[in-house]
Amino acid sequence: MEYLYHRSSHSAYVLDEDITDTSEGLVYVADLKTSEIFTFGGSAAIIWCALEEPKNLEKIVEDVALAFEERPEVVRPGVESFLIDLVDRTLLEKSLAN
């Protein structure tokens, strides 16, 4: 079974490049139900930004590998772990691909 990951409807985010003149590649992600804000940098920020549209694990791994000029198998464990964490926090949702 293949799953697609997408941002939950109760999340919102701001890129630091949208609010400052100097960007550190950070993303501020809010859980609007729990009033928590998380700061994502590095691969976390890339994963979040990659989810402009729903994507499966392989596509997300591919995006991160490309960004860091690494082989997909190197980045895959970290990506998978992060996605599980975000789903647990309900910042992301997982649904079956059609």
Partner 1 sequence: MTEPQEVPLKARIHLSHAYFQKLTERNAIDILHIKGYAFGSDCYVAGRHSSDVDVLVRPSDVDRFMYLLVEDGWKIVTTFESGSIFNHASTVYHPMWGLADIHRYFPGLGYDDQAKAFEQLWSNRRYKEISHVPCAVPSLLDSRLLVVIHDGRNLAAGRTDTAYLRSFLSEDDWDQMRSRAQELEAELAFDAALSQIDMHRGEPYYLLWKSMSEDVPPYIGWLGRLQREKSLAGKAKVLKNIFIVNNDHLAMELGHQPSRAEVRAKFYGRFVALFKGGK
Is 97 a residue that touches partner 1 (CB under 8 A)? no
Task: With contacts defined by CB under 8 A, name the span among 25-33, 58-66, 76-84, 90-98 that binds partner 1.
Answer: 25-33
Q: What's the alpha-carbon Rg for the chain, to the nearest Å?
A: 13
Subset of 42-81 contacting partner 1 (CB under 8 A): none
Give strand ranges (E) for 25-91: 27-31, 36-40
CB-based contact 3:60 (threshold 8 Å): no
Question: Considering beta carbons, is residue 25 or 77 the nearer one to partner 1?
Answer: 25
- Give the position of tokens 């995006």: 63
- Residues binding partner 1 (CB under 8 A): 9-10, 12-14, 16, 19-20, 28, 30, 32-33, 35-39
